[in-house]
C-alpha cells in the first residue's frame, strides 16, 4: 500500500533572499530563480522523501557557505591558536550537519530548542561535559559573528545554559615517584636504544621540573635547550602566549644527557625532541612511555604526562610556594585556575589528619 499525503506548497527561489524550508514558507537556492507551485493530492511517499532530500541539500549548501567567513575571521582577525581553530571548526561543522537534518531549523533564526537538541544528541553519543561546553562556546562564536554581520538573530543563545561540570581535583603523583619517572634506569630492561630512554627521561623531567604541558615540552626548539649555563627557557603556551620558566640543575643534566646521545643534528629552528627516525617526537610516544613506567612503579592510571604538571604545582605549593608565582610558572591566565591546587593541598592535609590524629573520625 502506497502512503499518501495531501500537500499544498508554494516555493519561491530568490538568490538574494534565503528564508527557511518549511511547508508554509517560501525558500530559495543560490543562482536559481524560478517559481514552483506544488498542488498535488495523494502523492506517493517516495516522492515526498525525494522532496525532503533536495530540501536538505539546499539547506546544507547554505549552511556550508556560512562557515567559511567565520572560520577566516577566527584565523586572520582573532588569531586563535591552531588547535582551538581546528576544534571550533569541527564543533560548528557538527552543529551545522545536525541542523541539516532538521528542515524547520536554519541559522538565520534559530530556536533555543535547536541548540538544546544538538547538545542532547551529543550527550547521548557519550560526549563529556567539558567537550559540550567547548562546543557551545564555538556555536556562540559562530552565531555572534553572523549577528554582527546582520545575517542572523542569535537571541536564542541567551536561553541556553551550558552543561554543569563536575569539578574534580587534580591527582598529582607523589614526589618520590615523580623523580623515579625521570630516571632512564627505570626502563633499563626495555630493548630500546639508550638515547631514546634518555630522550623520554629528559622530556618527563621538563614536564615535572618546569610544569610544562606535553605540547610545550615538545615545542621547545634545539637552540633553546636548557643546557650548560642556560637556566631559563622560553615556553610557548596556549594561545601563542610565551612565558619564562626557570630550569633546575637536575632537569638541565637530563637534557644535556639526551643531547649528548641524540644521533641527529639538532640544528637551530628544529625540534629539540626527535622521534626514532629523526622527525618531531609525537606526544603519543611519551604517553606510551608513561604507561610503561606506571606499570613498573605500580602507579594508577591517573599518572599521565599532564599529571606531572599537576604534581609540579602541588609540590611547590606544599613547600610554601606563592600562588601568584605558581600561576606565572604554569601560564594560567586567571588566578582562579591556579587556586584549585590549594584545594588539593587542603585535601591532603585532611587525609593526613584523618590518618594520624587520635580524635579523627576514621572510616570503619
Q: From the candidates 63, 106, 213, 227, which is the catalytic residue?
A: 213
How far, CA to CA in Å, does 336 sit from each of 85, 333, 339, 342? 25, 9, 5, 10
d(CA 186, CA 180): 7
C-alpha to C-alpha distance for 43 and 3, rounded to whole angstroms: 8
Cα-based torsion angle of the residue sequence 309, 311, 316, 318 in order, rounded to the nearest 10 degrees: 150
What's the rounded Cα separation, in Å, for the pair 237 and 330?
A: 9
309 is catalytic: yes
Please report, in angstroms and rounded to a whole number, the separation of the first and last CA atoms in the chain.
70
Interacting residues of 180 by C-beta distance below 8 A, sequence separation 6+:
186, 293, 297
Instruction: Identify the CA nearest to 220 among candidates 242, 239, 201.
Output: 242
Q: Is 341 a catalytic residue?
A: yes
Let me know if 306 is a catalytic residue: yes
SS3 category, 103: coil
Our answer to whether residue 238 is catalytic in this structure is: yes
From the candidates 122, 252, 309, 315, which is the catalytic residue? 309
| Three-class secondary structure of residue 264 per DSSP | coil
Grid cell at residue 89: 571548526
Q: Which residues contact 192 (CB under 8 A, 6 or more apart)?
A: none
Which of the residues 71, 221, 306, 348 is marked catalytic? 306
CB-side neighbour CA atoms (13 Å) of 330: 27
Q: How far apart are CA 80 and CA 240, in angstroms?
A: 8
Q: Which positions are catalytic?
A: 213, 238, 306, 309, 332, 341
Amino acid at each position: 500500500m502506497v502512503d499518501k499525503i495531501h500537500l499544498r506548497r508554494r516555493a519561491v527561489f530568490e538568490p538574494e533572499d534565503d528564508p527557511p524550508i518549511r511547508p508554509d514558507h517560501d525558500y530559495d537556492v543560490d543562482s536559481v530563480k524560478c517559481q514552483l507551485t506544488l498542488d498535488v493530492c495523494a502523492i506517493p511517499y517516495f516522492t515526498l522523501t525525494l522532496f525532503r532530500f533536495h530540501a536538505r541539500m539546499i539547506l546544507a549548501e547554505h549552511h556550508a557557505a556560512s562557515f567559511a567567513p567565520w572560520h577566516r575571521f577566527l584565523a586572520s582577525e582573532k588569531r586563535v591558536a591552531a588547535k582551538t581553530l581546528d576544534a571550533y571548526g569541527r564543533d560548528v561543522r557538527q552543529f551545522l550537519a545536525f541542523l541539516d537534518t532538521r528542515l524547520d531549523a536554519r541559522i538565520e533564526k534559530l530556536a533555543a530548542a535547536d541548540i538544546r537538541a544538538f547538545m542532547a544528541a551529543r550527550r547521548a553519543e557519550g560526549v563529556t561535559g567539558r567537550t559540550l561546553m567547548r562546543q557551545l562556546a564555538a556555536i556562540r562564536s559562530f552565531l555572534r559573528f553572523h549577528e554582527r554581520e546582520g545575517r542572523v538573530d542569535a537571541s536564542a543563545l541567551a536561553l541556553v545554559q551550558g552543561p554543569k561540570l563536575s569539578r574534580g581535583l587534580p591527582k598529582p603523583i607523589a614526589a618520590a615517584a615523580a623523580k623515579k619517572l625521570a630516571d632512564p634506569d627505570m626502563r633499563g630492561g626495555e630493548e630500546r636504544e639508550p638515547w631514546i630512554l634518555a630522550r623520554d627521561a629528559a622530556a618527563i623531567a621538563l614536564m615535572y621540573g618546569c610544569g610544562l604541558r606535553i605540547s610545550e615540552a615538545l615545542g621547545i626548539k634545539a637552540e633553546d635547550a636548557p643546557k650548560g649555563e642556560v637556566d631559563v627557557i622560553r615556553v610557548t603556551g596556549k594561545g601563542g602566549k610565551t612565558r619564562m620558566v626557570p630550569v633546575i640543575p637536575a632537569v638541565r643534566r637530563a637534557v644535556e644527557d639526551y643531547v649528548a646521545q641524540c644521533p641527529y643534528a639538532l640544528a637551530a629552528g628544529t625540534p629539540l625532541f626527535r622521534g626514532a627516525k629523526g622527525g618531531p617526537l609525537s606526544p603519543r610516544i611519551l604517553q606510551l612511555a608513561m604507561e610503561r613506567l606506571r606499570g613498573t612503579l605500580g602507579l594508577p592510571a591517573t599518572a599521565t604526562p599532564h599529571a606531572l604538571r599537576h604534581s609540579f604545582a602541588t609540590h611547590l605549593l606544599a613547600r610554601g610556594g606563592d600562588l601568584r608565582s605558581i600561576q606565572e610558572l604554569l601560564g594560567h591566565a586567571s588566578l582562579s585556575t591556579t587556586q584549585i591546587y590549594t584545594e588539593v593541598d587542603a585535601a591532603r592535609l585532611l587525609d593526613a589528619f584523618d590518618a594520624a590524629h587520635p580524635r579523627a573520625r576514621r572510616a570503619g
